[in-house]
Chains A and B, each alone.
Chain A
Amino acid sequence: MAEKLLEVKNLKSVYKTRFNEKITAVDDVSFDLEDGKCLGIAGESGCGKSTLAMSVMGYYYPPLFYESGIVNISGIDITKIPYNQLRKEILGKEIAYIPQAAMNALNPTQRIINLIEDVMEEHISGITKKEIRKIAEDRFETLNLPKDVLQRYPIELSGGMKQRTVIAISTILNPKILIADEPTSALDVTSQKIVIKLLKDLIKRGFIKAMVFITHELPLLYNIADDIMVMYAGEIVESGEAEEVIFDPIHPYSNGLMNSIIVPEKGIKGKKLTVIPGAPPNLKYKLEGCRFFDRCLFAKDECKISEINMKYVNNRSYRCVLQVDELKEMYEDGKKPATT
């Protein structure tokens, strides 16, 4: 079995609002990430994908607070160490991040090379500016990015170029794990392809060892992920190998998502994850039973009663009271969720 680079257990994070309400945006999430793998996380807008990314990186700034759980990175539980140790030894070095809105992620009054200098000087003591420049130029060359980007200001770069630059900056220290939060959402199709290729390249060349890829665009996930977790209202509702989750989903929510995508054409062209009628529940309230209840076409009374735990079947897991066979049968019966 490959080495576990990242181990998340029962992680729970909450937003505390000004009115002292608690919004549980990440609720009891557990997963592992092994060497060489790419884990895809899919889910509708607002289901807690970005919050999960922040929590895994230990980025707890108000209004986001750590509640419980473990995040093991290279054998260290980062929820238990002081911030300064996290900053110096983990962030950027062991685990790196590509922000959702890379367009605004760069300081507008700083040249790219100066940010790289600051990042490298922070983590490698005694490194000279000349050495940094050499490393940065080599890395940009390897990744097919023009070298003169280094001397530019962010405002002078196109959207796609900015995104690729951010990826190069995030991975300049060869972090083991990269968390990419919707790295392609703001880009056109051509730029998307280039960015996906760049990310795959990073793993292939060994600059990073494993990746978490967050998105709400399934076609992309199919292209890059080995495993997929489907997230709904702060919880993981299904996880398994990418192929299986996409073409043979178990949970009614995943089924709804995938159905709407796969049915008409063969293949999974250009559709997005926002087609199931209704809206997710408000995470402000304490939720009883299945969170997908209101939108589920197969819901029964028992779904609302108790807490629903993850069920493990072979290599897969899902969160539903029904058995796999029952669900499959209902999908077969043509009681497919509407694909409006």
Chain B
Amino acid sequence: MKSYRKYMTSKIVWYVLTFVVALFLNFLLPRLIPGNPVSTIVSKITSGMADTNSIKRVYETFEKEFGLNKPIWEQFLIYVSNLLHGNMGTSFGQYPRKVTDILASSIVWTIGLQLPAIIVSWILGNVLGVLAAYIKKGFDKVLFPVFLFISCIPSFGFAIVLVWLFAVALKIAPASGGYAFDMIPSPTLSFFLSVLQHYQLPFWSIVLVGIGGQSLGMREMSIYELNADYVKYCRLLGLKDSKIVRYVFKNAVLPQITGLALSLGTMVGGALITEIVFSYPGLGSVLFNAIAAQDFPLISGCTLLITTGVLIANFVIDIVYGLIDPRIKVAQQE
């Protein structure tokens, strides 16, 4: 128990260090993109203004507000202290909206799309994977190449194929957006139905690609487990194959939990491309637009959210594994 605490303490120290480094990079990297975002905003606001003096004053006001006239280390300190107060700054691109507001409204869409999709594809993928390994013969001969094919298609390519097939050719699903463009989000049935309709294509494109990769990994793991000595021993004890496959599933799926936790962690930024292809109003689209607009605070906000997600996911894996898998528990105690 004592060594377990030592193990956890050293883990936590590493996670905190990683977070600090990530925080700094989050802040620094967007600012290394060449170009000046303020002039973009200013030129938008001042279009039609002729007076160079007032344009200059507008420019200076903005530069001061965003703190861009200060040295970069001072900017970083301000950034961190604001962050501690829950303030991520003001968006350049969607001025004067607060970064936190933008993130809060878009993350609902992202999680709503991704969480069910990831879980559904994880469960289906793993069940299909273990079945393919166990049944072999016909089932495996068909499923394996299909999974391999699907998992090799880049997700945006797959999304585009789905759009073409269901939205353009068959016209049975809308091609883009999170809801009909003439609607305002409200708690009504028609809005809900519209959301559901728009949900289908992005959802299934994530699910299918996910199943492909997931089931391939699971199939490998299960084949390995099925050849383990304990399978033979259990059969010789007269246990049913259905029971033994359950043992195999449990042992093979435990390592897959890492994959699940990681995809949940990267969830917030993970479906970037799917969201862009479907113009889905989630975090991916926001990040994409923020990069295009050189919106430093918004980019930093998005990436900070993603980083935190990944770190938390990893941390949870580390703790949970020790509890559910005796093989790891022993390794942790050594």
Contacts and interface: CB of A to CB of B under 8 A. Distances in A.
A119 interface: yes
Contacts of B327: 108-109, 155
Interface in A60-104: 61, 87-88, 90-93, 96-97, 99, 101, 104
A61 B229 CA distance: 13
Nearest to B233: A105
A108 B236 contact: no
B243 A122 contact: yes
Contact of A106 (B230, B239, B250, B330): B230
A101 to B, nearest CB: 6
Interface of A is mostly: mixed
B310 to A, nearest CB: 27
A156 B238 contact: no
A107 B236 contact: no
Contacts of B230: 104-108
Contact of B236 (A97, A110, A123, A155): A97
B288 interface: no
Given A108-B251, A118-B243, A99 B232 contact: yes
A169 B234 contact: no
Contacts of A61: 232, 235
B316 interface: no
Nearest to A107: B230
Interface in B248-277: 250-251, 254
Nearest to A108: B327
Interface string A146-162: 00000001011000000
Contacts of B243: 118, 122
A109 B234 CA distance: 14
B240 A109 contact: no
Contacts of A88: 238
B326 A109 contact: yes
Contacts of A258: none
Chain A contact-residue range equals 20 to 34
Nearest to A57: B236
Given A107-B247, A155-B326, A118 B229 contact: no
B325 interface: yes
A99 B251 CA distance: 21
A96 B247 CA distance: 21
A314 to B, nearest CB: 36
B237 interface: yes
A293 interface: no
B238 A59 contact: no
A93 B234 CA distance: 13
B238 A99 contact: no
B146 interface: no
Given A59-B235, A104-B229, A87 B250 contact: no
Interface of B is mostly: helix
A170 interface: yes
B236 A109 contact: no
Contacts of A166: 233
A119 B326 CA distance: 21
A119 B240 CA distance: 9
Nearest to A87: B238
A207 to B, nearest CB: 16
Residue of B233, B251, B254, B327 contacting most chain A CB atoms (<10 Å): B233
Given A99-B232, A153-B326, A110 B237 contact: no
Contacts of A122: 237-240, 243
Residue of A101, A108, A153, A156 contacting most chain B CB atoms (<10 Å): A108
Given A109-B327, A110-B247, A156-B330, A170 B237 contact: yes
B108 interface: no
Contact of A91 (B238, B250, B254): B238
Contact of B237 (A92, A101, A104, A153): A92
A105 B234 CA distance: 8
B254 to A, nearest CB: 7
A105 B229 contact: yes
B293 to A, nearest CB: 51
Given A109-B251, A109-B326, A97 B233 contact: yes
Contacts of A57: 236
Interface in B279-308: none
A18 B327 CA distance: 34
B4 to A, nearest CB: 15
B319 interface: no
Nearest to B254: A109
Interface in A86-145: 87-88, 90-93, 96-97, 99, 101, 104-110, 115, 118-119, 122-123
Contacts of B229: 99, 101, 104-105
Given A88-B238, A109-B250, 11 more contacts: A91-B237, A91-B238, A92-B238, A96-B237, A107-B234, A108-B230, A122-B240, A123-B238, A155-B327, A156-B330, A166-B233
20 contacts: A57-B236, A87-B235, A91-B236, A91-B238, A96-B236, A104-B230, A105-B230, A107-B230, A107-B247, A108-B230, A108-B251, A108-B327, A109-B247, A109-B326, A109-B327, A118-B239, A122-B238, A122-B239, A155-B330, A170-B237
6 nearest A-B pairs in the assembled complex, by CB-CB distance: A92-B238, A91-B238, A153-B326, A104-B229, A105-B233, A97-B236
